[in-house]
A and B are shown apart, each in its own frame.
Chain A
Amino acid sequence: MTTTPVTPPTAPVTPSAAPATSAVAAWVGNPWARFLLRRTGRLLVSLAVLVTLAFLMIHLIPGDPVRAALGVTAPPDLVEARREALGLNDPIGVQLADYVRALFAGDLGTSMTSGVSVSETIGQRLPATASLAVAAFVVVMLAAVPLGLAMAVLTRGGRRRGAELGFTSTSAVGAAIPEFLLAVGLVFVFGVTLGWFPVAGRGDAASYVLPVVALALGPALLMARIVRVEALAVMDEDFVRTARAKRLPPLRVHLRHVFPNALTSTLTIGGLLLSGMIVGTVLVENVFAWPGMGMTIVSSILAKDYPVVQGIVLVYGAAVLLVNLVVDVLLALADPRSTIREG
């Protein structure tokens, strides 16, 4: 226990406390700079691995991918010409270098079946997928955080056992149903039987309802469970007793004192859920014939159109890595004490 009022070295630097030494020393000594540097380094390594794997994918396929794509009946000289065009006859190191160079130029190759540039295809399909994933994530956060907090408040200290049991079992079952099966159920109830919402295609706001619900329901229930458990743990903390001793209204106690301290795990789980939802769009898009990347990647895998698959895997992977980075930065912002220090 420190007894002298020293500022810990990791404290956020306030203007008055910043040492007037050289800017470089301050920059190196700043824990935020160190954290961002280290975290960016990790992102770059992950990206490098991702790019390498996407590149290697086409080489790991047993047999000749071009032959597989064009079919057994394709004439050998056509296959050879296509191999040459894709650069598959060059040494693998040269191929990787070419691939990375093209990547930096925004060139993801050309579709083997349609001849359209892959980046153009992705550019057309990405907005549909992104809008679906973002809408679902917003719904998850808006629904799960209040629900989880409310359940924590209602069931704290072993009160309302019935409500607790109902909530935990419903959310466990709900979260265990995969999004594509939920999607089929929703299509049946709200599309086929009631006819309230369109069941296929992307159009006006109504067309978003079923895909977003299918994508968001499971993660929202899971998230609400986590928020509840975390909030219950925080409610037992001494500082919540202090807040009650200050006779603050319950709403203020829960929103200002309980929730911000349950935020760490909420954010961590939120990040995981968002990554999962980005990729979960693949299944949901295929149920609702949603014209996004998920439809494209599946049809491309089936058509053995490898450059398109490569490109889309890269985009999904990069999106996931980006989400992870954002979550880590948010965590560091939300928790003034510790996160920055950890690797």
Chain B
Amino acid sequence: MGRDQWRAALRNPVGAAAAGLLVLLAVLAVVAPILWGDAAEETDPAALSQGSTSEHPLGTDALGRDIMLRVLVATRYSLGLALLATAICVVAGVLLGVLPAVLGRRAGRLVTGTVNLAVAFPGLLLALFFAVIFGVGARGAVLAIGLAGAPSFARLVQTNVAAVSGRDFVAAARLAGVGRFRLVARHLLPNIGEPLVVNATVMAGSALLAFAGLSFLGLGVQPPAYDWGRLLGEGLDRIYINPAAALAPGVAVVVAGLAFTLLGESIAQVVGVRAVRRRRPPVGDQAAAAAAAGSAPETPGDTVLVADDLRVGFPAPRGGWTYPVDGVGLTVRPGETVGIVGESGSGKSLTALAVAQLAPDTADVTAARLEVAGVEPRGRPESEVRELLGTKVAMVFQDPMTSFNPSMRVGTQLAEVTRVHEGQGRRAALARAVDRLRTVRVPAPERRAHQYPHEFSGGMRQRAMVAMGLMSTPELIIADEPTTALDVTVQRQVLRLLKDVQAETGAAVVLISHDIAVVAQLCERVVVMYAGRVVEELPVGQLGAAAHPYTRALLASVPDLATDRERPLATIPGRPPDPADRPEGCAFAPRCAFADDACRVRPGLAAVAPEQRAACWHPRSQPLDLVLDVLSGGRS
């Protein structure tokens, strides 16, 4: 435990209060018996079992002794016994915990097994067991509580030792021939000290409470000695006459126990990380940025998706806001297939989530205009949006392993969609789920519907995911990297499936991928995103005439059969900028071979050819030498 961490723990108000209380208790433990030790023993036959009086603020016990003084004086005994029990617990726990590392394999496993068995029993049961053996009284109770806590402490030591033993320096020490005991003393224990100190602190708190419990039961401290537990037990008998006699020692126990526990926990917490606060960005921030952003063209006729100047912001760790999606315009017509491509971090997935009203809770989504399946979702209550979009928009997510609920059968997860949105009965919904699984060519769909996701292969899970999107008749299917986790053969199957589905249902498809070759196989139109903005959009057939240097770089990085294997694979040098740290003008300029002073000003999307727009001051016009056969191979 570093000095800084102690300090940080003390700066925490809870930690500071706990530490302050412990100091106060320590002072009391030293001072109280000296000052009031004799007065607390003084019997007053004139004041037996009294309630609160001016002379005895908390009343007196059956022999006329002052309760308040007795509670104060008992601090020393109560704390001392608890600490003694803690010491026994820690020593026994560390010995038991380290033994497996010192002993041979077989003896070590025996110790581990014994500890595991003992941990299964609650501490109080062990304490009662040991209290019987060691006898009733303070000595027996200290031993009983110390030993009862030892197994769980030993388990903790074992876990930590096991974690450290695997590290290189221990292996190195072992190879260097360092003896077992030396290994433990010099290499293992010093490296697990931190969690052990924290837990010993918490342990002291529970030892104090346990001791109070045993004394309360009459199994701990015996008269004429007294601790808080004993006083509590005596006070409870007369709770109707003088409640303070029971409550005062009880409060003392709770306060002291909490002080230990909270100090330990606030030390442990210092290591942890605080959660991000939820905030709203300042309005001016958006307005200023909105003025600079490009916008989607006015689209005549009907659309299934229109987003204009879409921005998604997150609170930055050091204050302010970052915009991973920063003014995106996107239009999708009915039945159209549009691909969004870009490197990871370009904001393409977040764009999709935001238009589908599924952005994370902490995100702030704004747009000049947003319409999904003919619905303006903003400003409507959530339940209405769910109802309106429930059957019209389907999502197909990346990584079907984690995107299915592992504890629900696949068929149930599919059926849920129509049961909720179309009010179908269980049977009818399941029948439809089986039918849709058959549509996406899952073999033996009746049986598969009753299986759990983990019983599916990766490709089959992804097809089931598509089937889930088809439970209703969606107008728009948003597929976010649907093929990324799959191998090439399965990838082709899923793409073909999406294409078939699109042909059959007439739904529009938005396909998001980092792989421009995948997009080219399926889509009619390609939208290229970079650093949260659209940098180019063009029909797939015109990819050879891509104007933006970034689009051309993406195309050049696709390997094909004609790629010269002797040459290194083309990559785009550099990395996309962090959303919090984007350059002023064109975000691609630092990686662009054609960048000059003009690129210090952000370019807007401008037409470079019919149906083709690019955001670049220096659009390229030289046709690319593309092997379009490979790019659009899946289309024919």
Question: Digit string of B270-292 for contact with A (CB within 8 Å is 1, else 0)?
Answer: 00000111100000000000000
Interface of chain B, helix or strand or loop or mixed? Answer: helix
Nearest CB on A from B342, distance (A): 20
Q: Is the CB of B360 within 8 A of A337?
A: no
Question: Digit string of B254-271 for contact with A (CB within 8 Å is 1, else 0)?
Answer: 100110011001000000
Q: Is the CB of B236 within 8 A of A302?
A: no
Nearest CB on A from B50, distance (A): 17
Complex CA–CA separation, A7 to B451 (angstroms): 10
In the complex, A100 has a CB within 8 A of chain B: no
In the complex, B174 has a CB within 8 A of chain A: no
Residues in B neighbouring A238, C-beta threshold 8 A: 397, 399, 402-403
Q: Is the CB of B455 within 8 A of A8?
A: yes
Contact of B356 among A169, A199, A245, A283 (CB under 8 A): A245
Q: Is the CB of B213 within 8 A of A297?
A: no
Q: Is the CB of B128 within 8 A of A11?
A: no
Q: Is the CB of B403 within 8 A of A239?
A: yes
Which residue of chain A is the closest to B126 with respect to CB atoms? A279
Contact residues of A between 133 and 192, Cβ < 8 Å to B: 156-159, 161, 169, 172-173, 176-178, 180-181, 184-185, 187-188, 192
Q: Is the CB of B407 within 8 A of A336?
A: yes
Nearest CB on A from B235, distance (A): 8
Q: Is the CB of B276 within 8 A of A158?
A: yes
Contact residues of A between 1 and 49, Cβ < 8 Å to B: 1-8, 11, 14, 16-17, 45-46, 49
In the complex, A57 has a CB within 8 A of chain B: yes
* Contact A5 B239, CB 8 Å, known A173-B258, A239-B404, A243-B405: no
Interface size on B, residues (CB 8 A): 86
Question: Digit string of A258-290 for contact with B (CB within 8 Å is 1, else 0)?
Answer: 001101000000000001101110110011000
**Stretch touching chain B among A87-95, A107-115, A209-217, A317-325:** A317-325
Q: Is the CB of A8 within 8 A of B454?
A: yes
Interface size on A, residues (CB 8 A): 84
Residues in A neighbouring B213, C-beta threshold 8 A: 178, 180, 283
Contact of A157 among B218, B253, B278, B443 (CB under 8 A): B278
Complex CA–CA separation, A11 to B321 (angstroms): 47
Residues in B neighbouring A257, C-beta threshold 8 A: 405, 408
Residues in B neighbouring A302, C-beta threshold 8 A: 136, 218-219
**Stretch touching chain A among B161-169, B297-305, B382-390:** B382-390
Complex CA–CA separation, A192 to B399 (angstroms): 61
Complex CA–CA separation, A172 to B202 (angstroms): 13
Nearest CB on B from A20, distance (A): 16
Complex CA–CA separation, A49 to B119 (angstroms): 13
In the complex, A102 has a CB within 8 A of chain B: no
* Contact A176 B278, CB 8 Å, known A157-B360, A248-B416, A320-B122: no
Contact of B247 among A5, A185, A199, A245 (CB under 8 A): A185
Which residue of chain A is the closest to B414 with respect to CB atoms? A246
In the complex, A301 has a CB within 8 A of chain B: yes
Residues in B neighbouring A176, C-beta threshold 8 A: 205, 254, 257-258, 261-262
Q: Is the CB of A246 within 8 A of B121?
A: no
Residues in B neighbouring A187, C-beta threshold 8 A: 236, 239
Which residue of chain B is the closest to A42 with respect to CB atoms? B117
Q: Is the CB of A11 within 8 A of B451?
A: yes
In the complex, A101 has a CB within 8 A of chain B: no
Which residue of chain B is the closest to A336 with respect to CB atoms? B452
Residues in A neighbouring B460, C-beta threshold 8 A: 5
Residues in A neighbouring B394, C-beta threshold 8 A: 245
Q: Is the CB of A7 within 8 A of B455?
A: yes
Residues in A neighbouring B258, C-beta threshold 8 A: 173, 176-177
Residues in A neighbouring B124, C-beta threshold 8 A: 276, 279-280, 282-283
Complex CA–CA separation, A324 to B120 (angstroms): 8
Residues in B neighbouring A261, C-beta threshold 8 A: 405-407
Question: Digit string of B420-456 for contact with A (CB within 8 Å is 1, else 0)?
Answer: 1100000000000000000000010001001110111
In the complex, B361 has a CB within 8 A of chain A: yes
In the complex, B74 has a CB within 8 A of chain A: no
In the complex, B543 has a CB within 8 A of chain A: no
Complex CA–CA separation, A84 to B474 (angstroms): 86
Q: Is the CB of A301 within 8 A of B131?
A: yes
In the complex, A334 has a CB within 8 A of chain B: yes
Which residue of chain A is the closest to B119 with respect to CB atoms? A272
In the complex, B577 has a CB within 8 A of chain A: no
Q: Is the CB of A188 within 8 A of B247?
A: yes
Q: Is the CB of B239 within 8 A of A313?
A: no
Nearest CB on A from B220, distance (A): 11
In the complex, B246 has a CB within 8 A of chain A: yes
Q: Is the CB of B457 within 8 A of A321?
A: no
Choose among A1, A14, A61, A250 the residue with the greatest number of B CB atoms under 10 Å from its CB: A1
Complex CA–CA separation, A195 to B565 (angstroms): 90
Q: Is the CB of A156 within 8 A of B254?
A: no
* Partner-B contacts on A (CB < 8 A): 1-8, 11, 14, 16-17, 45-46, 49, 53, 57, 60-62, 156-159, 161, 169, 172-173, 176-178, 180-181, 184-185, 187-188, 192-193, 199, 237-239, 241-250, 252, 256-257, 260-261, 263, 275-276, 278-280, 282-283, 286-287, 297-298, 301-302, 306, 309, 313, 316-317, 320-321, 324, 334-337
Q: A-B pairs with the 10 shortest C-beta distances?
A: A157-B361, A247-B390, A245-B395, A238-B402, A247-B386, A279-B122, A239-B405, A238-B403, A279-B124, A260-B407
| Other A-B pairs, 5, CB within 8 Å; known A3-B489, A178-B212, A180-B213 | A7-B455, A238-B397, A247-B387, A320-B122, A320-B125
